[in-house]
Chains A and B, each alone.
Chain A
Amino acid sequence: KAGVTQTPRYLIKTRGQQVTLSCSPISGHRSVSWYQQTPGQGLQFLFEYFSETQRNKGNFPGRFSGRQFSNSRSEMNVSTLELGDSALYLCASSRGGVGSGANVLTFGAGSRLTVL
């Protein structure tokens, strides 16, 4: 079965611009979570969506937002980009719900954002 697909894989933006990243989860997975990875801070949780509802949010400013559509695809948006937003943005999907196997995360390859 197809894995988690993230687009675009690479992008370059300038300060002040905004960016939208897309994540298509594995078919049947209802939960999508987003992470930011930088050399200095490691993997940091951004937010998680389940059935179109944001279930939790990490400690990021309001410039970072996301949403999930009825087909479970998700997008995240970063507005007013800053140099420090340069990072690898990872999306992961899981079936969701209760039970150990339901919450195994499958990650995409990531979208590498460079802010100049």
Chain B
Amino acid sequence: DAKTTQPPSMDCAEGRAANLPCNHSTISGNEYVYWYRQIHSQGPQYIIHGLKNNETNEMASLIITEDRKSSTLILPHATLRDTAVYYCIVRVRTGFKTIFGAGTRLFVKA
């Protein structure tokens, strides 16, 4: 599985959009991009995933560049409860190692 690179921390004002970048320059053609977040000491929670098209669900939007070497997770209206560590991973399917990087610690401030 390809590795990912994320900034260690970011701040965001409450109510504003939070844009979290992820670099996955070694991604292969059949690897999906997944985003998870972990609120202190809880198990990570799935947010969204995509292959090459932009995706949106009730939690967030995922923008993947055309060359698939990077992506951005967008939380459109961040709240204090969105303060968490956000992990971007790339994964094909079961049977492959799942490599979590250090993630981005997002601080949403009032």
Contacts and interface: CB of A to CB of B under 8 A. Distances in A.
Interface stretch (B18-26, B69-77, B97-105): B97-105
A4 B94 CA distance: 17
B103 to A, nearest CB: 7
> What is the size category of the interface that chain A forms with chain B?
20 to 34
A105 B99 CA distance: 13
> What is the size category of the interface that chain B forms with chain A?
20 to 34
Given A104-B49, A105-B46, A110-B43, A42 B94 contact: no
B95 interface: yes
A105 B41 CA distance: 17
Taking chain B's interface residues, is the majority helix, strand, or loop, or is none over half, making it mixed? loop
Contacts of A96: 93-94
Given A100-B49, A103-B32, A109 B42 contact: yes
Given A43-B44, A107-B45, A110-B43, A50 B100 contact: no
Contacts of A102: 93-94
Contacts of B36: 105, 107
A72 interface: no
Given A97-B93, A102-B93, A103-B91, A48 B43 contact: no
Interface of A: 4, 31, 33, 35, 42-45, 48, 50, 55-56, 58, 88, 90, 92, 94, 96-100, 102-110, 112
Given A45-B97, A92-B43, 18 more contacts: A4-B43, A35-B98, A43-B87, A45-B98, A48-B97, A55-B96, A56-B97, A90-B44, A99-B93, A100-B49, A102-B94, A104-B49, A105-B34, A105-B36, A105-B46, A110-B42, A110-B43, A112-B41
